[in-house]
Structure 1
Amino acid sequence: MGNVRFADGPEPVTLRRRLQQKPAMNPIARFAATIIFVLVSGVDAIGDESGSPVQLREVNPIKGAPESRVIAITGARLIDGHGGSPVENACVIVKGDQIIFAGAQAEAQIPTGAIRFDAGGKSLLPGLFDSHFHSQDTAKRPIEYELDNGITSFRDPGHPFKFYRWLNGNELTVPRIFLCGGHLDAAPPAWPDQAAVIGTAKQATEAVDAHVARGASGIKIYMRLPAEHIAAACAAADRHGVPVTAHLELVRADAAIEAGVDGIEHITSFGTALADPKQAEVFEQVVGSDSNARREWRPRLWSGIELENNPRLRPLLDQIVKQGTFVSPTLAIFEARVGEKEATPVTASAFANMLDFVGHCHRHGAKIVVGSHTSAPFADRGKAYLREVELMVEAGMTPLEVITAATKVNSEFFGAQDRLGTVAAGKTADLILIDGFPDKNIKDLDKVTHVMLGGNWVKGQEN
C-alpha cells in the first residue's frame, strides 16, 4: 500500500448544505493550519501537503486491479444496494477496478478472454460500510476483522491521526479508511489524548481547517463543545465540503442539528432532546461536572423517556428528516436485557426505549446508517457489526432496508456515493459474495465467502 497520502480524484459530491468548494489553501495558510492542529492535538501529520483540492476520500488509496484484467461474476442473486428486489441469475463484469456491467446475465455481453467466476447460489452485494469504527494503535487490531466480514470501507469518527501511523509503509490489506482526526471537544475533554480542545469559535474553525488539510473526510464533534462552537465548526466544514457528525451529551440534538451537523453518532445523543426538560437539566448538570457520569446517567435518562404522546418526539423527527440528518444508532453497544450480562431493569428499560426510537426514526423516513463501534456486549469479537444489523431489524427495518443502510446510505454519509456503495456500471468494484439470502434473513450477512476490493479478490479467491 505504501505511504499514506491524500488521494487525487474527482471533485467531491456536493452534500446537503454544502457550499461551493473554496480554493485550496496557499502553502503559508496550510502550514499555519497544520501547526495549529499539532499544537491542539499533538499528533504527526499524515495528510497531503501538495495544495490540491480536498476530496472526500480514504487516507489509504487502494491499488486497483490491472485494467487489462476482466472478471465476469455470473449466476449470483444481485442485491445492488439501491433497495429494489434482487436480480436473479445476474452478471457483474469488472474491468480493472471498475464495474462495467451489472444486471441480468441474459443481457450481459461478456468480453472475450474474461475470467469467469461462477457465483451460482450466492448473493452479490456492494462492500459494506461501517460508519463508526474505532481502531486501536496496537499490534492486534480489530481492523483485521473488517474485510473478513465484508466491510470494505469504514470511518473512524474521532480518533486522532496518530492512531493510524501504522498505515505508513504497511502492506497489510485493510478496508478503505475514512478519518475525522481528533474529535473537537471543550475543556475538560472526556478523552484528553484524543481531543482537539476548543475554547473559541476561531479555534473551532482553525481545527477544522487543519484536520481537512491533513486528510480528514469528516469532522467529529464531542460532548462538551457548545452549540456556538459547533456552528463555527460546521461553517468551516461547509467551506471544504466535509460532513460533520456529533456525539452529544450536553448539547441537545435539535440544537446541534440547527447548528449544522450532518450526522448524529449514538442513539443516546438524542436523549436530552426527548426527555422531560427537568430530567434533561439534571442529566446535564451531573454529566457536565463529571464526564464519566454519563455511563450511569444515560440509562437513567432513557429509562424515564416516554415516547408515546411525547410532545418533543414529532418535532425532532420532522427536523431530522427535513435537514437530512444521518442517524448512526450504534445500538449494539447499549444493548441490555433483563437477566443477561449484569443488566438491570433500568438499563433494560432504557435500551427498549432506544430500540423504539430507532423504529420511530425509520418509520418517519430518517436516513439511518450502520456503525459497529468495534465491539459490543452481545457480540463475539469481530462481530459487533452483525449484532448491529440484527438489532436494526428488531427495531423495525426489513433486512433489505438494513442492507441499503449499510451500503448506499452509508456511502452518502461518507460523501463517497459517486464511486462506492452500490453495484452499477461506473462504480468501483468493492463487492462481496454471501452464501445465503441476507435480504430475507439478516443473519446471513455473517456468511461472507468472497470479498473484492478495487477489483482484486482479498478473500475467498486467488487473483
Structure 2
Amino acid sequence: MGIRKFLAGMAMVVMASSASAQMLPVPDRQPGEAEGPFETLIVSGATMIEGSGAPPMGPVDIVIEGNRIAAIHGGGAPDAVKAGASRVLDARGMTVMPGFVDVHGHNGDPGKAAQPSYGYRLWLAHGVTSVRGVSFYFGPGQPDLTDAQRSAANTIVAPRLYPYAVFGDKWGRPAPTTQAGAREWVRWAKAQGFWGIKFFNSLMPDVFAAALDEAEKQGMGTVAHLAQPGVQRVNAKKAVELGLDGVTHFYGHFESLLSGNALVRYPEGYNYFDEQSRFGWVARLADQVVEPGSEEWDEYIDFLVESGVTLSPTFNIYSASRDVMAAKNRDWHARYSLPSLMDFYAPSATNHGSYYKDWSTEDEVAWRKFYRYWFDLTAEFHRRGGRVTAGSDPGYIYQTWGFAYIGELEMLREAGLSPLEVIRAATVSGAEEIYEPRGEEPPMGTIQVGKLADLVIVPGNPLDNLKLLYGTGHTKLNYESGEIEQVGGVRWTIKDGVVYDAPKLLESVAAMVEAQKGAQPSGE
C-alpha cells in the first residue's frame, strides 16, 4: 500500500463521523487565564525532583527571572530576594518537577474535539509543558506551525508545541514514491518549519532510507509507527538499521522477533481494515515470537540499545484492550470528556480506534499476555541503557488528553521503571529526544539554573503515588475524620515563566463539556 493510500485511509476512518466539520481556531489567551512572566517569581518551600534521576531534595526556593531559572536555594532564598519578588508561590508540602514532555500528541479531529484549546488546556492542567505533535493536524493548510508560533509567543493557552509532519503529508501534492522525491519532500518540510517526520511504514525500503538520510542531514527528528501494511518489508530492526531515530507503539518489534517464520501468520478471515479484526488479532502476535530472555530476544534488545534508538511505547493507548469496561468508566469522563469525544470512542465501523464491537474475555486475556511481553522488552531495553520516553497518543480508545499522559506514567511504572525513572522518562528524556536530532542541548527537561522555567507543582509526593498527578486527584480515606477525600491534582503548571492555575484550567474544560451537553438536542 502506498503512503498516499494509507493516509487517505487514515483520514477516512478518523474523519468519517464528521466529514463536514472543521477545526476551530485557537482563541487568544484572555486576561486572567494565566499570570506572568514575572520580573522575579519564586516557587517557595517545595521538595524538588530535578529530572535527571537525582533523589528528591528540599525544601528549596526556585527563583525565576522572566522565563529562565535564575537560582535554586536549598532551605530558602535570602529575605532580600523574597522581598523583591514580583510573585511568590507557596509550595510548602508540594513537589516541584520539570514540566512534563509528551512525545506523541495529536489534536486534529473535528468530529470529536473541534476546539484544539480543549486538549491544550488538559495537557497543561496535568503538568505537560511540551508536546511533540506527530502530527497535531493531518492534511495541508492546517495550523500546526501557527499554533506552535503562537504558543512560543504565549498568546494562546497551550504547551510548547513541536510540530512533526507525516511523511508525504501537508504539501498538497502526491506523496513521494522515489528517493529523489523523498528528499525533496523532507527539504520542503524543513523549510516550512517542521521539526521532524512521522512515518507510517508503507514505503519501499530505498525510499524510506532516502527520507531518513535526508532528515538527518537537515537536522530533523524521525519516528515511526511501523504499521502492518509495510512491516513485511521494514520491521523495527530494519528501520533502525536504515537510520530511524525512534520507534513508537509496539509495531515492528514483534515482527523482528518471529519464531520459526519469516512472515507473520495471519488467521483465516483477517482484514486489516476491519479494526476489530486488526486489534483483536494483534495481541495473539505474542504467540508467534521468541520467548523473553532467549538468545534471540537478548540480541535484539542489545541491538536496539547499541543503535541509540529511542522507544516511546505509548502503553496507555491500547490499555483499554485489557479491560474495556474500566476504560469507558474512568473517573474523569463525566466531567472532562466531551460528549462528542465519548461518541467517537464508542464502538464504530468508521472511527479509528473505536474497535470494541464484539470484544470478549478471550481478547482481553490475550492483550494482558501481550502486555507482559511488551513490558518486558521495554523494561529490559531501559535497564541496559536505552532511552524510553513518555507519549500518550490522546483522543482515541478512551484516552482523553492529559489524563492519558498520567496513565502512561503509571504504565511505565507497571512495566518496571522505578518512580524516579518514570519522571526522567517524562522530562529530560523526552526533551533529549526532541532536541538531539538538531545537535542541541534541550533548554528544558531538568530544573537547573539557566534552563527554561517549565515546572509542574503538585501537592504531596508523586514518587509515592503517581495518581496524585491526575486532574481528578486520588481518592483517600482520612482516618482521623472518617471522610473520603480527593487529594493531589496539579496545583500550578509553569510554562516559559507563565503561571497557570491547574484547577482553573480544568474548570474551563468542564465548562466546554457542559456547553456541549447543553447544545445537544433533547433526548441525546
Amino acid paired to 1:95 = E
Mapped contact 1:88–1:104 kept (Cα < 8 A): yes
Mapped contact 2:237–2:252 kept (Cα < 8 A): no
1:312 matched to which residue of 2?
296
2:180 matched to which residue of 1?
202
Q: Is structure 2 residue 461 aligned with structure 1 residue 437?
A: yes
Distance 1:195 1:92, change over 3 A: farther
2:205 matched to which residue of 1?
227
1:140 matched to which residue of 2?
115
Q: Secondary structure at the match of 2:322?
A: coil
**Cα displacement string for residues 194-246 of structure 1 (whole angstroms, at most 9, x for unaligned residues):** 99733111121111111111111111111212332222112111112111111
1:30 matched to which residue of 2?
none
Within the candidate set 231, 246, 249, 1:263 is matched to: 246
Q: CA deviation at 1:365?
A: 2.0
1:450 matched to which residue of 2?
492
| Rounded Cα–Cα distance in structure 1 between residues aligned with 2:218 and 2:383 | 33
| Rounded Cα–Cα distance in structure 1 between residues aligned with 2:177 and 2:285 | 28
Q: CA deviation at 1:278?
A: 1.5
Mapped contact 2:237–2:256 kept (Cα < 8 A): yes
Q: CA deviation at 1:260?
A: 0.4
**Cα displacement string for residues 101-135 of structure 1 (whole angstroms, at most 9, x for unaligned residues):** 12413576836511322210110011101010111
Q: Secondary structure at the match of 1:267?
A: coil
Within the candidate set 424, 446, 449, 1:425 is matched to: 449
Percent identity over the alignment is: 26
| Rounded Cα–Cα distance in structure 2 between residues aligned with 1:314 and 1:291 | 34
Q: Secondary structure at the match of 1:388?
A: helix
| Rounded Cα–Cα distance in structure 2 between residues aligned with 1:422 and 1:196 | 42
Amino acid paired to 2:123 = E
284-293 vs 144-153, which deviates more? 284-293
| Rounded Cα–Cα distance in structure 2 between residues aligned with 1:294 and 1:218 | 28
* Pairs within 5 Å for 1:231-310: 231-249=209-227, 250=231, 251-276=234-259, 278=261, 280-282=263-265, 294-310=278-294
Residue ranges of structure 2 left out of the alignment (5+ in a row): 9-28, 327-358, 471-488, 505-524
| Rounded Cα–Cα distance in structure 2 between residues aligned with 1:90 and 1:448 | 18
Distance 1:376 1:382, change over 3 A: farther
Distance 1:304 1:461, change over 3 A: closer
Within the candidate set 58, 64, 69, 1:94 is matched to: 64
Within the candidate set 357, 360, 364, 2:380 is matched to: 360
Q: Is structure 2 residue 81 aligned with structure 1 residue 110?
A: yes
| Rounded Cα–Cα distance in structure 2 between residues aligned with 1:129 and 1:246 | 18
| Rounded Cα–Cα distance in structure 2 between residues aligned with 1:128 and 1:177 | 12
| Rounded Cα–Cα distance in structure 1 between residues aligned with 2:172 and 2:295 | 37
Distance 1:294 1:225, change over 3 A: farther
**Cα displacement string for residues 392-440 of structure 1 (whole angstroms, at most 9, x for unaligned residues):** 1111011111010000000000107431111111111111101121122
Mapped contact 1:74–1:105 kept (Cα < 8 A): no
Q: Is structure 2 residue 50 aligned with structure 1 residue 80?
A: yes
Mapped contact 1:263–1:326 kept (Cα < 8 A): yes
**Cα displacement string for residues 286-331 of structure 1 (whole angstroms, at most 9, x for unaligned residues):** 9998696643442221343343343331222112211211100011
Amino acid paired to 2:213 = A
| Rounded Cα–Cα distance in structure 1 between residues aligned with 2:160 and 2:324 | 39
Distance 1:279 1:438, change over 3 A: farther
Distance 1:454 1:461, change over 3 A: farther
283-292 vs 419-428, which deviates more? 283-292
Q: CA deviation at 1:144?
A: 2.9
CA RMSD of aligned residues (A): 3.6
Mapped contact 2:150–2:156 kept (Cα < 8 A): no
| Rounded Cα–Cα distance in structure 1 between residues aligned with 2:109 and 2:131 | 16
Q: Secondary structure at the match of 1:448?
A: coil
Q: Is structure 2 residue 414 aligned with structure 1 residue 394?
A: yes
Mapped contact 2:50–2:56 kept (Cα < 8 A): yes
Distance 1:325 1:451, change over 3 A: same
Mapped contact 2:176–2:182 kept (Cα < 8 A): yes
Mapped contact 1:129–1:370 kept (Cα < 8 A): yes
Superposition TM-score, scaled by structure 1 size:
0.77
Distance 1:392 1:194, change over 3 A: farther
Q: Is structure 2 residue 394 aligned with structure 1 residue 374?
A: yes
| Rounded Cα–Cα distance in structure 1 between residues aligned with 2:172 and 2:318 | 22
Amino acid paired to 1:224 = S
| Rounded Cα–Cα distance in structure 1 between residues aligned with 2:266 and 2:294 | 19
Mapped contact 2:100–2:129 kept (Cα < 8 A): yes
Distance 1:203 1:79, change over 3 A: same
2:91 matched to which residue of 1?
119
| Rounded Cα–Cα distance in structure 2 between residues aligned with 1:439 and 1:454 | 25
| Rounded Cα–Cα distance in structure 2 between residues aligned with 1:287 and 1:265 | 24
| Rounded Cα–Cα distance in structure 1 between residues aligned with 2:161 and 2:270 | 32
Q: Secondary structure at the match of 1:197?
A: coil
Q: CA deviation at 1:378?
A: 6.4
Distance 1:199 1:284, change over 3 A: farther
Within the candidate set 163, 171, 178, 1:179 is matched to: 163
Distance 1:277 1:146, change over 3 A: farther
Superposition TM-score, scaled by structure 2 size:
0.68
Q: Secondary structure at the match of 1:100?
A: strand
Q: Is structure 2 residue 370 aligned with structure 1 residue 385?
A: no
Distance 1:403 1:339, change over 3 A: closer
Mapped contact 2:82–2:88 kept (Cα < 8 A): no
Q: Secondary structure at the match of 2:115?
A: coil
Amino acid paired to 2:386 = A
Q: CA deviation at 1:137?
A: 4.5
Distance 1:378 1:113, change over 3 A: same
